[in-house]
Structure 1
């Protein structure tokens, strides 16, 4: 049997990035039931894990053809999983990737995950045309309609996330779906018992601490610290034990109770230590929920974290560490809002992050780490403005970001990571200039970018980032 580098290539529209992230995590963390490992399935011996998966939408930009790095990943993947929605149905890149896989690999190894829209609906079609129609050897899509591939439906009205995950896993393992469902049901019963026991213990601890808090104010402060410590322990140590085995779902009950608990607190009554523990725990809740694909819960947690770090900053407005901590909370609010398409809140948060980064530099102009915060803030804001077609504003943001990155790369020429970062900063500015139809300066930036990657590869021929970014630029798809 062919030896593939990747078990599957995930194809999806940038607008469905949260679904792509969820799917990547859901498949890679799945553990095949021990009794099935090594048994003969439809695709050979059943593996213990379905890893690794390739997901390529982190830095998608406009272009005219699939990059060499993407083609290589497609050819190195046993399966192609297409995240289907009205956005992906209209995505040129998703259709290209499907067409390429159909003409170069086994079309029967194409799987589909419906997350939005309806198959065959005129105005809300979720299947990319290349998925449902015949594709010729030159990758052109004909009008000949074919049977749609195996599709899992992650919507609540369909298979749901759990059922969709198991359906895709069964197809990739080459085993019967009913076998996995029965074994997963057993796992869920055992896991529910563990969660219920943990919830009762946690609830009991919280109830005891809450009762003690009524006894005296000093005792209440001590018990609150213990409660905060307990939550922080469960969100750190427990998370470290559950995440490697794909059991972050068990953290949901902890995260929910933590949010309810913190929602009852008056920030003005908390001292700096209490506020610090509160903000750390809320950040962890946000990160866990973001990893689990729960953007609503993640945004709620990060908003509360920002309210907490904002309180700390209000008490110490000249403290650089307080400014930095608050800037990170504000960034996460903007990032999650950006992922959800809530551009108003995203822009407001990114601009506040930019303002806070400016305050850091005003306090310590020579701090290299804080200089990079300015670059990150400008780059995030530039990306948002670019996607809204506000190219003049995006150009200004990317220009400032490039200035900071260029200075860091110049000060440390031996650090190849900084050199590749410089190439990517130049790339974003070049793309923006191109979209604004300023062709000559755009081409100059592309040439400068390629020269940087070539210089890096001359020093380190195996540098994967430089090679991948260089391939994209060379094939008309800037990083």
Structure 2
């Protein structure tokens, strides 16, 4: 028995009763430590690096009874905690980004049919002390049964070595048992007692310094080294001891762990500074409200500038808190009072149109930030209120150009919000209004480069809204207009990096619409042109945002390559994108971390298709670890709940392919619980479809476990949900295909096969008549017809 498949404990920590203080300190420090998130998900010899090191198991035998009149043994003082704080990773927040990928094809089931698509100093001498009789033949077991179980279920063994540990039967027994499991390479020795110049072997129990025989007993042959890793806590600061031990338990080198850990510690200090600044900000904003109400009731221009400055300062504080890993509660504690104070401040200006415009811009800015952090309200009340303010703007003296530009900017922000919310109609309305205003501004000054650029951005937003609404042809016209404008702007200033980036975005949008129009070769050409332009216009000084944009573009290239059957090329593109993200991982915000999780997921998709299941599983687990970190203490947040079950389901698919239906079933059931919560919170066809897909996969896993009745029940539940979807949208060919697949599953399992095969045949014939079957799907029609004939003749 080498190692449990999924060990319950990261480590089993064993020590002598005299070293209780050290044991308690190390366990607490390690279990409270947050792994620097830049390391989370990294593949090691012991699996992906987790978010936390715990849980740990710890054991020390009860000290022997003290005879009357004997003094108690002196306790070793607890190590000093005066050094720098234990490194920890900031908790991540929810962030915006593209919707999770469509569900992958289900793993092969055991039932025939088509596929449903969708974790105490003693004297020390130069030689080892003689073994007392208790070590050679203990009178009773030194490890309780529950501790033996924990020892077996631990990935590593940590032994606190001291003069007391060298003669402790329980410590020796734990080491003997652990090494007897064949895990001698997973033992870490921490020297916590004895003189600094003492030979480490004199501090270790016999089982640690000697080899273990085949029969599990301790031999007289000395080990070359007492352990693969020895940490001398007698001469090192506590924080370094903790960091070295943490690195070992994560299967990382100390140098790999130290840099990110120290940066994380500095990040926490910066976070405390930012939170202090945010508290001061709230006090200042509150004071400004009172001051403005008293001093500035008749100066709208000054009030407008104060509002703009207050909004910007608040959002910068929120961004800093997010990057440094503040929890959703902390971020909400910054943004909510500041936003309320600024709203009160704006209300002091009455009905002045410029202040109405400022209020609209404020509402949209706060909505975007809340949406990015997973804190937005489901009703999107801020966006609605902002749109009403923008619709009702009337300037008695007419709007000057600067006001119109601010209105265009606010409308474009609203477009992005509405697209992220899935409110396509509202996005289109905002985009049309923004484009009309931008056209008026550009027409009034056709030689202005700035106004032409603003016009191209408004046209891009309008194209995005059209594409989201399914109007690909009209979107293509808009994007070609944008391309023409931006090519002209680059010709005016060929050295402009901004112009090249803008033109790159235009080519990227062309690629997006060509993918929808099923023109992959042209789309790939557009993406590669965009990539070339983007690479020639990078600006590392601008922060990590350009790497994220590049990585998304690499993912799009990979998506097209994968659709064309070029799996190795796609894998290269996905890995190039991930490498860009990892290069700036320490500066990544929540959106960047979410994009990184998508890259890991896509890499896993390709590896799974190549049947590299172990690598695919590692990639999916890295993606899941990032998403769990982003969800943090807010799993019900508005941005992340769907991503988590998608990751769990992909993990289940790989486990099914690996022939591990028990583990796959657990992953699917976790995904189903999350999706049922989503369906209850936000009923709709997409959520219902997700539930049906997961129920079908649970049925496949149950069938693989030979739990026929339970599998039938799960498939029937999936079928009932899918039939509701088809009834609501009879023209949806994908849902009709899935309904036929589920009917086939049930028929193959002997559940009313004649009637079910009849439905399958009728459905496939109807889809074939409408030319809605892919070539691969069409091959199932004659098989279904043959199955129907055989069922009728039985």
Q: TM-score, normalised by structure 1?
A: 0.50
Instruction: Look at both structures and tell me which one has the larger radius of gyration over its CA atoms.
Output: 2
